[in-house]
Structure 1
């Protein structure tokens, strides 16, 4: 099982990749992704590139682009988490790649590439472009204020 903070790194990578779709950053993002997956050999690198191309086509052809971006980002988060489970030493390379891609994105696409990391038993609630309502209850059933 991948540690929670590594899931955050994987999530940042997934968001960065889908944010790069249809931008000038796409080629660099795709190549960097292939390099990360290349730890598993040339076939894995080529597979990652094919998956990335399929994700780009899905997003570009979607009637609801935002929903497609969210689905593809989640898919990539899981793929990257699987990669980190197999190669935990890739975490720093993945983090650096995601930050580099995000920094190079046009401002409009940067909103798709958010990074949220909660660790050490903390709670975090995120809703980029949406709302989160959290009701906290005290032990014994009373509502916290």
Structure 2
């Protein structure tokens, strides 16, 4: 299982990539991703670029692009966390790539890029662009007081 710091950086990277779809930043984001995965060899770099292209098609063709982007960001979060488990020395390169992509995004896509971190057995609820109702119940089924 990836460490918290790996998941934080991987989450930022996944969100940045999903946010870059259909923007002027896409090509640079895709190429940067290939470079990151290239640590595992040329085949993995090409595989990452192919996955990125599939991500773009999935988001662009979706009826609900926001939901599709959120799903793809989560997929990339796991891929990037796996990459960092294998190559932990790539953390700064990934962090810099994600920040550069995020800064270059149009304002509308920048709001999509969110990083949420919960630590130390905490509970976190996030609803960027949406809403949720949270009801806490005591053990045994009654509402919390």
With the length of structure 2 as denominator, give the TM-score of the two structures: 0.88
With the length of structure 1 as denominator, give the TM-score of the two structures: 0.88
Distance, in Å, in 2 between the alignment partners of 1:21 and 1:2 is 26
Q: Which is worse superposed, 122-131 or 68-77? A: 122-131
Q: Deviations over 1:64-114 (max 9, x none)?
A: 211211111111111111111111121121111111111110001112211
Distance, in Å, in 2 between the alignment partners of 1:6 and 1:139 is 34
Pairing of 1:27-46 with structure 2 (within 5 A)? 27-46=27-46
The change in CA–CA distance for 1:12 and 1:49 in structure 2 (over 3 A counts) is same
Distance, in Å, in 2 between the alignment partners of 1:59 and 1:142 is 40
Distance, in Å, in 2 between the alignment partners of 1:142 and 1:115 is 31
Q: Deviations over 1:6-25 (max 9, x none)?
A: 11211111110010001000
Q: SS where residue 128 of structure 2 aligns?
A: coil
The change in CA–CA distance for 1:88 and 1:138 in structure 2 (over 3 A counts) is farther
State the shift of 1:36 in Å. Answer: 0.7
Q: Is the 8 A contact 2:135 2:143 kept in 1?
A: no
RMSD of Structure 2 on Structure 1 (CA):
1.9
Distance, in Å, in 2 between the alignment partners of 1:64 and 1:142 is 35
Q: Which residue does 1:24 correspond to in 2?
A: 24
The change in CA–CA distance for 1:85 and 1:101 in structure 2 (over 3 A counts) is same
State the shift of 1:142 in Å. Answer: 7.5
Q: Is the 8 A contact 2:30 2:52 kept in 1?
A: yes
Q: Which residue does 1:143 correspond to in 2?
A: 144
User: Structure 2, unaligned stretches of length 5 or more?
Assistant: none
User: Structure 1, unaligned stretches of length 5 or more?
Assistant: none
Equivalenced residue count is 144
Distance, in Å, in 2 between the alignment partners of 1:11 and 1:136 is 27
Q: SS where residue 144 of structure 2 aligns?
A: coil
